[in-house]
Every structure is written in structure tokens, then in C-alpha cells.
């Protein structure tokens, strides 16, 4: 009986040893698989890390480019404000030179004679240069003699009765107006016609009859 129990215990021990060995093999296989999976994941991890570094560097470059662009745009705006009239000023400088030469010549000119005619001719040429410079930059004169009075462009300084003009007509221009690219800079100061009143007509006729 004791012998049978010993055999039974031996068999149980062997079975346990077999199970332990089998479990060890399973664990060993799992460890090997895990190691294999880790080896497979490492290249993917390194690739992802490299791409992340690349994207970060790209982001830094884009940010730097945006900052440079913003700085250049700000500088361009400042320069535009400072030098907006640069071309216009360059066009006016020869005119100023011409006027200065005319004043110098005027100091040496006696009254009358050919020199006075030359001064007048030089002044007319300077005025022509100025008009051309203004026109080049879209500045045009408003000289509405004979036109219908327009309160958006003209400033009526006085009204005069006139039988020769239609009422509300610009008879004379006291000071020219100017507009920049069709936007009014300064209205023209004008004299506007109005109809001759009947009272004036009757008084005029009565006065004529009395003289007769």
C-alpha cells in the first residue's frame, strides 16, 4: 500500500514538473515574441521621432518667415507714409529751380525792354511745367466759365444779373478749383448769373424815357 502511494506521489510530481516546464516554455515564447515585437516597433518609433523633429523645425522656419514678413510689411508701410510724395516732390523741384532763376533774372532786369519779355516767357514756361506736373499726378483744374453752377464743385462768391447768360451760369472764375482723380480738393470760387429782375427793367425804361 505504501508503495502504491509512493508511486502515486512520484507520478504527481512528474506531472507537476511537466506542467511547470510547459508553463516555462510558454512564458519563454511570450518573452521572445515581446522582444521580437519591440524590435519591430523601434524603427517605427525612430521614424516617428524623426518626422516629429522635422515638422517642428518646419514650424520654427515658418514662424520665422512670418515674423520677417510682418516686419518687412511694417517697414514698407512706414516708408510709404514717409515718402508718399517723393515722386511728386521730384516733379516740383525743377519748377522751383525755374522760379528761383526767374527771380534772379528779375533782379538784373531794368523796366521794359527785351529782358522783361524774356522774363514773361520764362514765367509762362514755368507755369506750363507746373500744370504738367499736377496733371501727371491726377490733379486737374476746375475752371467752369460758361458751365452751369454746380454746388458740389463750385463756391458762389456773388450773383449778378445778366441778360446775356442763362440763370445759374458761371459768368467768371475768381479762383480756380482743383480735383484729385475726380475727388474735389478745392472748389472754384465763381460769379453766378441770375435773371434780370422786372423792377430793374422798368426802372431802366423809365429812366430812358425821362432822359428823352
Give the DSSP letter string of 63-78. HHHHHHHHHHHHHHHH
Indicate the residue among 120, 137, 154 that finishes a domain. 137
Instruction: Note whether 67 and 106 are same-domain residues.
Output: no
Instruction: Note whether 142 and 111 are same-domain residues.
Output: no
Indicate the residue among 137, 152, 170 that finishes a domain. 137
Instruction: Write down the pLDDT at residue 78.
Output: 81
Which of 163, 172, 164 is CA-nearest to residue 145? 172
44 CB neighbour count, 10 Å cutoff: 9
Instruction: Note whether 153 and 121 are same-domain residues.
Output: no
Instruction: Write down the pLDDT at residue 212.
Output: 32
Cell triple for residue 207? 429812366
Instruction: Write down the pLDDT at residue 99.
Output: 82
Instruction: Note whether 79 and 1 are same-domain residues.
Output: yes
Instruction: Note whether 149 and 202 are same-domain residues.
Output: yes
| Residue ranges in the chain modelled with pLDDT below 70 | 1-41, 107-115, 199-212
User: Which CATH number do you get for residue 176?
Assistant: 2.30.22.10
| pTM, full prediction | 0.53
Instruction: Note whether 198 and 180 are same-domain residues.
Output: yes
Instruction: Write down the pLDDT at residue 148.
Output: 95
Instruction: Note whether 73 and 122 are same-domain residues.
Output: no
Instruction: Note whether 144 and 109 are same-domain residues.
Output: no
Instruction: Note whether 60 and 117 are same-domain residues.
Output: no
Residue 119, Cβ density class (10 Å: 0-12 exposed, 13-18 middle, ≥19 buried): middle
Instruction: Note whether 89 and 65 are same-domain residues.
Output: no
Report the C-alpha gap between 89 and 84 in whole angstroms: 9
Grid look-up 516686419 returns: 71
Instruction: Write down the pLDDT at residue 198.
Output: 73
Q: How many domains are there within the chain?
A: 3
Phi, psi of 119 (to 5 degrees): -65, -40
Q: Work out the percent of the chain whose per-residue pLDDT is above 90.
A: 25
- DSSP secondary structure letter of residue 163: S
Which residue range(s) make up the domain with 27? 1-83
Instruction: Note whether 89 and 119 are same-domain residues.
Output: yes
Interhelix angle 86-107/113-136, nearest 10 degrees: 170
Query: Which residues is 160 bridged to in the sheet?
Result: 193
Indicate the residue among 43, 60, 83 that finishes a domain. 83
Which of 108, 106, 141 is CA-nearest to residue 123? 106
Instruction: Note whether 123 and 150 are same-domain residues.
Output: no
* Helix H or strand E encompassing 197: none
State the greatest distance between any 2 C-alpha atoms of the chain, in Å, as a whole number. 181
Amino acid at each position: 500500500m505504501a508503495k502504491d502511494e509512493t508511486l502515486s506521489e512520484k507520478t504527481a510530481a512528474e506531472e507537476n514538473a511537466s506542467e511547470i516546464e510547459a508553463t516555462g516554455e510558454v512564458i519563454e515564447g511570450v518573452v521572445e515574441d515581446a522582444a521580437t515585437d519591440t524590435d519591430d516597433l523601434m524603427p517605427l518609433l525612430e521614424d516617428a521621432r524623426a518626422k516629429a523633429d522635422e515638422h517642428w523645425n518646419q514650424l520654427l522656419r515658418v514662424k520665422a518667415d512670418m515674423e520677417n514678413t510682418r516686419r518687412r510689411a511694417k517697414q514698407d508701410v512706414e516708408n510709404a507714409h514717409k515718402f508718399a510724395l517723393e515722386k511728386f516732390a521730384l516733379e516740383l523741384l525743377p519748377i522751383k529751380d525755374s522760379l528761383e532763376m526767374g527771380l534772379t533774372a528779375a533782379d538784373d532786369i531794368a523796366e521794359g525792354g527785351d529782358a522783361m519779355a524774356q522774363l514773361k516767357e520764362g514765367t509762362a514756361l514755368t507755369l506750363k511745367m507746373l500744370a504738367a506736373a499736377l496733371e501727371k499726378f491726377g490733379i486737374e483744374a476746375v475752371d467752369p466759365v460758361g458751365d452751369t453752377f454746380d454746388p458740389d464743385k463750385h463756391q458762389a462768391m456773388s450773383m449778378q444779373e445778366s441778360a446775356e447768360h442763362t440763370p445759374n451760369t458761371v459768368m467768371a472764375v475768381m479762383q480756380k478749383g482743383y480735383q484729385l482723380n475726380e475727388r474735389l480738393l478745392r472748389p472754384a470760387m465763381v460769379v453766378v448769373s441770375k435773371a434780370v429782375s422786372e423792377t430793374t427793367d422798368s426802372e431802366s425804361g423809365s429812366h430812358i424815357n425821362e432822359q428823352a
